Structure 1
Amino acid sequence: MKFELHTTFPSELESEWNALLTESVTHVPFLRFEYLSNWWQTRGGGEWPSYAQLVLITARENEKLSGIAPLFLAEHENRPSLLLLGSIEISDYLGVLVRPGDLPAFTTGLLNFLTTDPQVPSWQTLDLYNILDDSPVIPLLQNEAAQRGWKFTSQSTDHSPAIPLPGNWETYLAGIDKKQRHEIRRKIRRMEEAEAPSRWYVVSDPESLEDEINAFLELMAHDPEKEAFLTEEMVTAMTGTIEAAFKHGYLQLAFLEINGQKAAAYLNFDYLNRIWVYNSGLNREYNAYSPGWVLLGYLLQWANENQRESFDFMRGNEDYKYRFGAIDRFVHRVTLHR
């Protein structure tokens, strides 16, 4: 494999990049070209300084794109570290882009390139966050570290629960706790029988997208923690993410309206026949209607009826996720220290 360093984001690779992703050992929306390009422009919504350096490595074999290690260099925990683009806070799952059959050769070649190419900036630690616990990259990196005499660590950093969907709403309900099943049905029925008119919908009109994005961010800001999170840089990053997902056809931005007012919203990705739950907003003035639960119930019903395979809550172990039937898995932080 022939490896190449890119220090500016390679816009000419967009088609090849996303095509490779469809065959990659890790295929998640956070590794799409448009997502990571937007992330880098804002340095993760201000999570990283503007002087962080892009260290994006591509590998080709017989001119064909075989692998991408989307890395950047920054000072992290008092060490010059190479991290994955998307790290740490706003990208739930990360990794490298490479076909399964090319992974061993790519891993070895990448580490050789990172340590021998004179154009690669000096670094001490390869610090990879948000790697799914079943990633085949983890044991390969452990073996490479042992052969090179490097220190290797892999630690679970967060829960990442998901609901496997049976493809039928009633079958799904029958598979969760009886009390929870009753609560979902009761709250949806109460909403639908209330005097206040209600409706839920998924944004589909490009002409209204800007207004819908602003409405979603306003709902997020009803939560004091999320309001603090929504800095100017983060708003720019999230807006870019939503616009890109809409443009490429995998945005699921859903609202529940009560009396014509937006009461709850979910920002999801409808991608790879699964729903990826990215963020949410809630107007607490409507708490008596349990709008968050009701909208989540509608989305789960839709996902089942439309044969989605999974409803992925991604990072965080909030209790409601398990009450809706989620099964735990974990993301890891993998480090190689030279």
Structure 2
Amino acid sequence: MDEYEIQEEKFADLKAEWWDLVRRCKQANTIFLVPEWQEPWVDVDLNADGQSPLSIRLKGTLVGLAIIRRDDGDVSFSADTNLCDYLDFLVDPDYEQGVFDAFLEYASDQSWQTIDFQGLQVGSPIVEMLPQIAREIGHSVEITEWDVAPYAALPDTWDDYLTGMRKKDRHELRRKRRRLEEAGGFQYRVIKEMGTELERLMDEFFRLMRISREDKAQFLNEEREEFFRNLIFSMAGLGYLRLHVLEERETVVSAALGFSYNGTFFLYNSGFDTAYSSLSVGLLIKAYSIENAILEGDDKFDFLRTNEPYKYHLGGQDQIVYRCFIELADAM
């Protein structure tokens, strides 16, 4: 029988192997699970004690990795689900059974009481395989639909995308775009690289987030702004950053932060100046980002979690995001 080794390891010591593992995990190969995404949050998390990467190795090779938080006997993913739309247990597809067997044995040895994994995409091995393994050894498992994350499959051209939209939505989008063009003086562009311009536009992005909606102003506290800044610089360095801005001459009136990774564009957050609401600049910056993703050759546009109406007006359709809750047998 293969012997799996489980231990806590430091982020810095894992980075190269982490990248190799996430690329092997087709279902979990998402921007939210790359090491550069996880590291900034730990750096600014004031409650970082009790969270760490839990590695699972077979003959020295990393075949499983879970970034977890322990609160007494209750275990969950360490990342803030307000900042990470998708989370998962990174498992080499060739070793899923062995990794989960070893993980559950470790959980019992550590006297964990519950395991609560949220933010799981369709096809996650936590949804597809872990429940059966856990139930076979007496644990209680509940899989629930936790949220939705609208998305759109991207065709080869913007015209094809428009054709696939609902007739009313297509008409409204064309009308709003035409009205902006007729107003004149507006310019759309995308920032991808490090530099003083990125720093300036990043400040504008935060300003627009805060003034566009009260809930966004409350969300963007000092700690989360620091996370955003670290993340933006990291993603720019890796080539994944896409900061979309719409300007009236030199004034930024709307902005959308996103990332292009592994064939998918992830629309992460946005903001706009409410003084320009009559020109629908908040909606249009998102439409421009869809068109840009098509031009760059992405296959999927992910609006990410929550069912805000604009996502469906722009062609989104739901995909389910799951939660897996396990109560260990010894705790029942």
Whether these two folds match at TM > 0.5 is yes
The separation in 2 between residues aligned to 1:35 and 1:279, in whole angstroms, is: 15
Query: How far 1:87 sits from its partner (Å)?
Result: 3.8
Match of 2:37 among 4, 11, 35: 35
Contact 1:161–1:313 (Cα < 8 Å) also in 2:
yes
CA positional deviation for 1:205: 4.3
Distance in 2 (alpha carbons) for counterparts of 1:98 and 1:139 = 12
Q: Report the Cα offset of residue 308 of structure 1.
A: 1.1
Deviation, 1:55, is 4.1
Alignment of 1:112 with 2:105, yes or no, is yes
Map residues 236-255 of structure 1 onto 2, 5 A cutoff.
236-255=226-245
2:192 matches 1:199: no
Q: How does 1:99-248 map to 2 (within 5 A)?
A: 99-116=92-109, 120=110, 122-195=111-184, 197-208=185-196, 209-222=198-211, 223-248=213-238
> What is the RMSD computed on CA atoms of the aligned residues?
1.6
CA distance in 2, matches of 1:115, 1:150: 10
Structure 2 partner of 1:88: 81
Q: For each residue in 1:68-103, what CA deviation from the matched residue of structure 2 results, as whole angstroms up to 9, or x when unmatched?
A: 12111126xxxx311113242211000011221111
CA contact (8 A) 2:148 2:305 kept: yes
Percent identity of paired positions between Structure 1 and Structure 2 = 29
- Residue deviations 1:34-82 (CA, integer Å, cap 9, x gap): 1111122223xx6xx344x02422122232221112111126xxxx311
Name the TM-score, length of structure 1 as normaliser. Answer: 0.91
2:101 alignment partner AA = T
User: Could you tell me how far apart the structure 2 residues matched to 1:12 and 1:56 are?
Assistant: 10
How far apart, CA to CA, are the structure 2 residues paired with 1:310 and 1:205?
22
2:62 to 65, 73, 85: 65
- Please list every run of 5 or more consecutive structure 1 residues that lacks an aligned counterpart in the other structure: none
1:206-256: per-residue Cα shift (whole Å, max 9, x none)?
222222221111110012111111111111111111111111110111111
Aligned counterparts of 2:112 and 2:118: Cα–Cα separation in 1: 17
Between Structure 1 and Structure 2, how many residues are aligned?
A: 323
Q: Is the 8 A contact 1:17 1:32 kept in 2?
A: yes
Paired with 2:294 and 2:78, the residues of 1 have a C-alpha distance of 33
Q: Give the residue type in structure 1 aligned to 2:35.
A: F
CA–CA separation in structure 2 for the residues paired with 1:87 and 1:263: 29
Question: Shift in Å at residue 10 of structure 1?
Answer: 2.8
CA distance in 2, matches of 1:5, 1:177: 51
Q: Which string of whole-angstrom CA distances, capped at 9 and with x for unpartnered residues, describes residues 266-323 of structure 1?
A: 1111111111011111110111211122222222222222221011001010111112
Paired residue type of 1:221? R
Partner of 1:5: 7
Structure 2, unaligned runs of 5 or more: none
Deviation of 1:22 (Å): 0.7
SS of alignment partner, residue 10 of structure 2: coil
